[in-house]
């Protein structure tokens, strides 16, 4: 009888410890998520990016993109500022890749471009986290300047 009571108390203790650990993990994740969703909006302007547009293997124009990253003050913006150069390089890489594509999934499709830039930021800043923990809330295309390339 004493062994049965000891077994029941041991199992109860293990369940209590497991429940406490699970609750602690949930609380940790909840607080982390709240950091990314609360707080005032913060914006970061990136340097202009010159992208050469290639059609049928020939450079036809140069587009200059002015991008702004929307985030939140505090930890999310801190992560972005720490990786600012790498993030700009990834955005440039994605824009350049889209510039040579034909079809609807190319640089002329602005919603698709924004989606690809959001994916690039998630890959760099929150690769193993859920999408809501991406510190970049939006990539805004503030302005695009078009310049035709002239060949004589």
Q: pLDDT tens across 55-101, in order?
A: 777 888 999 999 999 998 888 899 999 999 999 999 999 999 998 87
Residue-number span of the structural domain to which 2 is assigned: 1-38
Are 83 and 118 within one domain?
yes
Whether residues 102 and 138 share a domain: the answer is yes
Q: Are residues 29 and 104 in the same domain?
A: no
Number of domains forming the structure of the chain = 2
Tokens in use for 43?
């914006």
DSSP bridge pairs for 66: 143
From the list 135, 38, 42, 36, the residue with the least C-alpha distance to 83 is 135
**DSSP 8-state secondary structure symbol assigned to residue 46:** P
- Do 81 and 142 belong together in one domain? yes
Q: What does the block give as tokens for 10? A: 């041991």
Mean pLDDT of 114-137: 85
Model confidence at 19: pLDDT above 60: yes
What mean pLDDT value characterizes the chain? Answer: 84
| Shared domain check, 48 and 25 | no
126 pLDDT more than 80: yes
* 4 & 65 share domain: no
Q: Tell me: do 49 and 108 sit in the same domain.
A: yes
Lowest-pLDDT range of 1-5, 39-43, 50-54, 124-128:
1-5
Query: Strand, helix or coil at 149?
Result: coil
Tokens representing 148 are: 């035709």
Give the CATH number, domain containing residue 88. 3.30.479
pLDDT at 105: 83
pLDDT at 30: 57
């Amino acid at each position: 009888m004493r062994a049965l009571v000891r077994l029941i108390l041991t199992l109860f203790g293990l369940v209590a410890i497991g429940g406490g650990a699970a609750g602690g993990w949930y609380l940790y994740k909840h607080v982390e998520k709240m950091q990314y969703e609360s707080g005032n909006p913060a914006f970061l302007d990136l340097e202009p990016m010159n992208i050469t547009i290639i059609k049928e293997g020939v450079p036809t124009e140069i587009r200059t993109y002015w991008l702004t990253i929307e985030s939140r003050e505090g930890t999310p913006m801190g992560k972005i500022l720490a990786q600012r150069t790498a993030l700009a390089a990834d955005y440039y890489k994605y824009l350049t890749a889209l510039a040579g594509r034909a079809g609807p999934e190319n640089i002329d499709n602005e919603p698709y471009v924004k989606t690809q830039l959001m994916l690039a930021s998630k890959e760099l800043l929150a690769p193993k986290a859920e999408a809501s923990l991406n510190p970049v809330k939006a990539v805004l295309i503030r302005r695009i300047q078009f310049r035709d390339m002239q060949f004589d």
